[in-house]
């Protein structure tokens, strides 16, 4: 298969030195790329800023912002058989980023935010026969919210994790995950990201 994978966070700049981002390390996306390459698939990896080294053999596309990631996905999605959207794309960006560094002169600084495009939702509308995989990170109602996201974004399956309690799905840690199929089948797994990446590729191959 020709597999398109997105990884890492995006950065949404307030001024030239400050930005909004999140805790994504990109580790899962890079492990997904390695797992797919080992099985002989052709892989394009679109990644936000991370300290990770792209695996040898991948077509690597570095991006920074959500709009850059959207443009890269739109470029490669039409020629892909499968999109695995593991990137943690920022939901909002500053509505009016400043061209020079903001000086610390005010006690309260207000930053207006503008909603970023939903890349996965857009991909779902153009899905065709492609395999589409999404992810959900929730603090409550994990199963219900993940199922709603799967339905609304026209996914083949979704990988969901909760931030409640001691479960921390960031980085290379063993965590609790839930995989939900288009048919509504729920599978719970406890594993690290390397094993999870192989499970995800297994599922994608079974659909192809």
Using CA atoms, how far apart are residues 91 and 69, in angstroms rounded to an integer? 13
Tokens representing 81 are 């058989």
C-beta separation of 150 from 180 below 8 A: yes
Tokens representing 149 are 């996201």
Residue 144 burial by Cβ neighbours in a 10 Å radius (0-12, 13-18, 19+): exposed
Using CA atoms, how far apart are residues 192 and 172, in angstroms rounded to an integer? 6
Beta bridge partners, 3, equal: 43, 82
Residues in contact with 207: Cβ distance below 8 Å, sequence separation at least 6, in sequence order: 131, 156
- Exactly one of 22, 145, 154, 168 is catalytic; name it: 22
Tokens representing 105 are 């002169």
DSSP 8-class letter at 195: H
Buried b / exposed e along 23-38 (16+ C-beta atoms within 10 A): ebbbbbbbbbbbbbbe
Tokens representing 85 are 């959207």
Known catalytic membership, residue 198: no
Catalogue the active-site residues: 22
């Amino acid at each position: 298969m020709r597999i398109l994978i997105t990884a890492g966070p995006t950065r949404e700049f307030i001024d030239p030195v400050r930005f909004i981002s999140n805790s994504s390390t990109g580790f899962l996306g890079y492990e997904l790329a390695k797992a797919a390459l080992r099985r002989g698939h052709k892989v394009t990896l679109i990644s936000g800023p991370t300290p990770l080294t792209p695996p040898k053999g991948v077509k690597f596309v570095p991006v920074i912002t959500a709009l850059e990631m959207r443009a890269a996905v739109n470029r490669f999605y039409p020629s892909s058989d499968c999109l695995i959207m593991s990137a943690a794309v920022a939901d909002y960006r500053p509505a009016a980023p400043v061209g020079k560094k903001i000086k610390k002169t005010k006690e309260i600084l207000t930053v207006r935010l503008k909603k970023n495009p939903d890349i996965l939702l857009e991909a779902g509308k153009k899905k065709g026969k492609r395999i589409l995989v999404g992810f959900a990170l929730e603090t409550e109602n994990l199963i219900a919210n993940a199922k709603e996201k799967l339905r609304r974004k026209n996914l083949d399956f979704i990988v969901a994790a909760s931030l409640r309690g001691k479960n921390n799905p960031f980085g290379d840690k063993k965590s609790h995950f839930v995989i939900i199929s288009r048919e509504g089948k729920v599978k719970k797994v406890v594993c690290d990201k390397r094993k999870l990446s192989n499970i995800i590729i297994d599922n994608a191959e079974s659909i192809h």
